[in-house]
Amino acid sequence: MSTKPFTISADFIANHNARLEAATVEDYQALARALARRGIDAEKLVEKVIAFAVAIPTWGVGTGGTRFARFPGPGEPRNIFEKIDDCAVIQQLARATPTISPHIPWDKVDDYAALREKASAHGLAFDAVNSNTFQDQPGQALSYKFGSLSHTDARVRAQAVAHNVECIEIGKKLGSKALTVWIADGSNFAGQSNLTKALDRYIAAMREVYAALPADWRVFLEHKLYEPAFYSTVISDWGSSFAAAQELGPKALCLVDLGHHAPNVNIEQIVARLVRFKKLAGFHFNDSKYGDDDLDSGSVEPFRLFLVFNELIDAERRKAEGFAPAYMIDQSHNVTDPIESLMQSAIELQRAYAQALIVDRAALEAAQETNDALGAHLELKRAFTTDVSPLLAVARLRAGGATAPIEAYRASGYRAHKAKERPAVGGTSAGIV
**Chain residues in the site for ligand LRH (CB under 6 A):** 59, 130, 182, 222, 224, 257, 284, 292, 330, 433
| H/E run at residue 11 | helix 10-37
311 near Mn ion (CB under 5 A): no
Please identify, using beta-carbon distances, which residue of 259 and 390 lies nearer to ligand LRH: 259
- Contacts of Mn ion in 232-261 (CB under 5 A): 257
Query: Choosing among ligand LRH, Mn ion, none, which partner's interface includes residue 85 (Cβ < 5 to 8 Å by kind)?
Result: none
Please state the closest distance from residue 342 (CB atom) to ligand LRH, in A.
14
Q: Are 307 and 353 in contact (CB under 8 A)?
A: no
Instruction: Tell me whether residue 159 or residue 386 sits nearer to ligand LRH (CB atom).
Output: 159
**Residue 199: what residue type?**
L
The smaller minimum CB distance to ligand LRH, of residues 60 and 401, is found at 60
Q: State the DSSP H helix or E strand holding residue 99, giving kind and residue range, or none if neither.
A: strand 99-101
Nearest approach in angstroms of CB 130 to Mn ion is 8
Kindly tell me the burial class for residue 128, based on how many C-beta atoms sit within 10 Å of its own C-beta (0-12, 13-18, 19 or more): buried
**Distant-in-sequence, close-in-space partners of 103: CB < 8 Å, separation ≥ 6:** 57, 58, 59, 129, 130, 132, 431
Nearer to ligand LRH, 184 or 380 (CB): 184
State the minimum distance, in angstroms, from the CB of residue 25 to ligand LRH: 39
Q: Residue 222 CB, nearest distance to Mn ion (Å)? A: 6
223 binds, among Mn ion, ligand LRH, none (CB under 5 to 8 A by kind): none
Please identify, among the stretches 43-51, 109-117, 263-271, 276-284, the one whose residues bind Mn ion according to the rule CB under 5 A. Answer: 276-284
For residue 180, the cross-strand partners are 130, 220
d(CA 327, CA 342): 14
The item of ligand LRH, Mn ion, none sharing an interface with residue 130, based on CB under 5 to 8 Å by kind, is ligand LRH
DSSP state of 396: H
Does 86 bind Mn ion (CB under 5 A)? Our answer is: no
**Phi/psi of residue 47, nearest 5 degrees:** -60, -45
CA distance 222 to 344: 24
Contact flag: residue 287 with Mn ion (CB under 5 A): no
